[in-house]
Structure 1
Amino acid sequence: MKAVGSYLFEYALIAAVMLISVLGFWDIYFGAESHAQPHHHLHVVTAFAWMFLLLFQLTLIQRGSYATHRRVGLVVLVAAPILVATTAMLSVHSAHRGLVSGDGDFLIVQNVMGTLELALLIGLAFVLKKQRKLHAAFLLSTTVLFMGIALFFALITFVPQFKIEGPETFYRFQTAAMTGQAIVLGVGLVFFVKDMRNGWPFLLAASFFLLNELIRSSLSQFSLMNPLTQFVGSLSQPLTFIGTFALMLVLLAATALPIASRPRVG
């Protein structure tokens, strides 16, 4: 059985992401103009359920309970599609709200790409399930995505230098985003340096925020932000959830569940 210290960085990451997520949602639930909606509740429940599941799995590994870890892994096969499907549905909801308000959706690229990147990290975790350390790294690196988004909202809520106080301070959105990206990249780099062979998924997850910013800049340059928002916002939220869930469930089942060997003919 390995000591807790062997996974100190991983425990610290999950704990930090949970704390930052609470701060990120603070204004929505406890701010002066709090207006928590059902989709916020759904996002909070699924995100924290996922993080607690990762924490439980990490604890099982730390204790050497590998058989239980594998059984609990079957729960991940359902929890992961729910998480990705919820994220996809929220992306549609956010884009639709931007269309209705006429203000657009400044998080459209982050929402859409974040959903795809979350699915990619989880998918790779199961494709590489036989490489245990990489499998664990990919699953734990999903928390880096949560960290980056939560950091943005935590900064503009609690740090005076990033608070929006009127149109003349809208530039602080960009400043907060860049600061969050720098912090997340630092976290990814720490895990990469800690274990270059198996820690690169953390750096990959952290680099997604820079990739998303490049995509956003390119779409803005060619005036494609509004068409993207219109397309995503026009999708059905229930069908998006069902379709994404079904697709992720099939893909994960195909990679994670054992396939019965066929008898040879002749």
Structure 2
Amino acid sequence: MPLRRAHYLVLAMVLATVVAFWPTYFAVLRTARTELHFHGVTATAWMLLLALQSWTIHHQRRGAHRIFGIVSLFLFPLFLAGSVAVLLSMARNTPSDPFYQINGGRLGILDAWTPILLMVLFYFALKERRKVQLHARYMLATALPLVEPIIERLLGHLIPPFTAFDPAQFAWTMRAAELGGLVAAACLYAAAPRYGRPFFIVGLAMVAQAVLVETLGESSVWQTVFVGLGKLPSLPVLVVATIVGGLTVWAGWTAGPAARRHKPAAA
């Protein structure tokens, strides 16, 4: 089976997330926005699900692996909505928080790009579910969008001079985090290039994301749009995001069998 130690990698990311987000979320749980709680719960549940899927299949617990696979079909729409929730929360903070007034637009690009990437990865994970090598890597790839924010916050909290509150310095913190995410995707791709398509997609997405941060993220047009997102009511937006996640599940699940049915006719 591929990626025999993937569950250890995912659990290490969960622990790194707790350390990275401790000052800004876990230490202030009582005062954190509802959107952040929704994101935190759904993202944690998704990461633990990835770890359980990896552990069960590598320990010959195929029945449990199938059950967790079914759970993923229902959890993904909520996970996707959670990634949108954190975008809304950041947009709402931007007009009043000095840090987000300076950096909210750049960070908003990252959070706006993540749901799109997650939909692409999970769609292909379902479409290629009969191809074990690809399916496993597409599933693991859904954890990679967390690498950049983890590195970004670890640098900002722990590593001088990144700990200094300086807008220009924070731009370099973001760039260092982007590079770290790209290196992680490249290493996973290099481990098995034949099946590395999921990590190649993530790498391309990270490059495109970095370009958008340095261009669109600095524009007044995006800043206006981003702040406008924060004025939208959360519940309708999250309901729509959940529906879109459900449609992604349906499209991915039906794409594989449909492709196999049409293959003989095409031949």
Which category describes the TM-score, using the shorter chain as reference length? 0.7 to 0.9
Is the Cα–Cα contact under 8 Å of residues 36 and 89 in structure 2 kept in the other structure? no
Equivalent AA in structure 1 for residue 146 of structure 2: F
Superposition map of 1:136-175 within 5 A = 136-165=136-165, 169-175=166-172
Is the Cα–Cα contact under 8 Å of residues 84 and 241 in structure 2 kept in the other structure? yes
Matching residue of 1:24: 20
Q: CA deviation at 1:30?
A: 6.2
Q: Which runs of 4+ in 1 moved over 4 A?
A: 29-32
TM-score normalized by the length of structure 1:
0.84
Give per-residue Cα distances to partners, 1:134-170, cap 9 Å, x unaligned.
11111111111111111111110111221024xxx32
Matching residue of 1:59: 55
2:175 counterpart of 1:178:
yes
Q: Bigger shift: 245-254 or 94-103?
A: 94-103
Matching residue of 2:236: 239
Alpha-carbon separation, structure 2, partners of 1:233 and 1:247: 20
Q: CA deviation at 1:222?
A: 5.2
Judged with a 3 Å threshold, the aligned counterparts in structure 2 of structure 1 residues 207 and 180 are, in CA distance, closer, same or farther, namely farther
Matching residue of 1:264: none
Judged with a 3 Å threshold, the aligned counterparts in structure 2 of structure 1 residues 114 and 255 are, in CA distance, closer, same or farther, namely closer
Alpha-carbon separation, structure 2, partners of 1:48 and 1:57: 14
TM-score normalized by the length of structure 2:
0.83
Q: Bigger shift: 44-53 or 97-106?
A: 97-106
Alpha-carbon separation, structure 2, partners of 1:44 and 1:95: 17
The RMSD of aligned alpha carbons is 2.7
Matching residue of 1:69: 65
Alpha-carbon separation, structure 2, partners of 1:253 and 1:89: 22
Question: How much identity, in percent, do the aligned residues show?
Answer: 21
Matching residue of 1:91: 87
Matching residue of 2:35: 39
2:119 counterpart of 1:119:
yes
Is the Cα–Cα contact under 8 Å of residues 128 and 135 in structure 1 kept in the other structure? yes
Equivalent AA in structure 1 for residue 124 of structure 2: L
> What's the secondary structure of 2:44's corresponding residue?
helix
Unaligned runs of 5+ in 2: 262-267
Q: Which of 67, 77, 86 is matched with 1:81 structurally?
A: 77
Is the Cα–Cα contact under 8 Å of residues 185 and 206 in structure 1 kept in the other structure? yes
Unaligned runs of 5+ in 1: 262-266
Alpha-carbon separation, structure 2, partners of 1:69 and 1:222: 46
Judged with a 3 Å threshold, the aligned counterparts in structure 2 of structure 1 residues 129 and 200 are, in CA distance, closer, same or farther, namely same
Q: Which of 224, 227, 248 is matched with 2:224 structurally?
A: 227
Superposition map of 1:5-24 within 5 A = 7-8=4-5, 10-24=6-20
Number of paired residues? 253
Give per-residue Cα distances to partners, 1:175-210, cap 9 Å, x unaligned.
211222222222211111111121231243244333
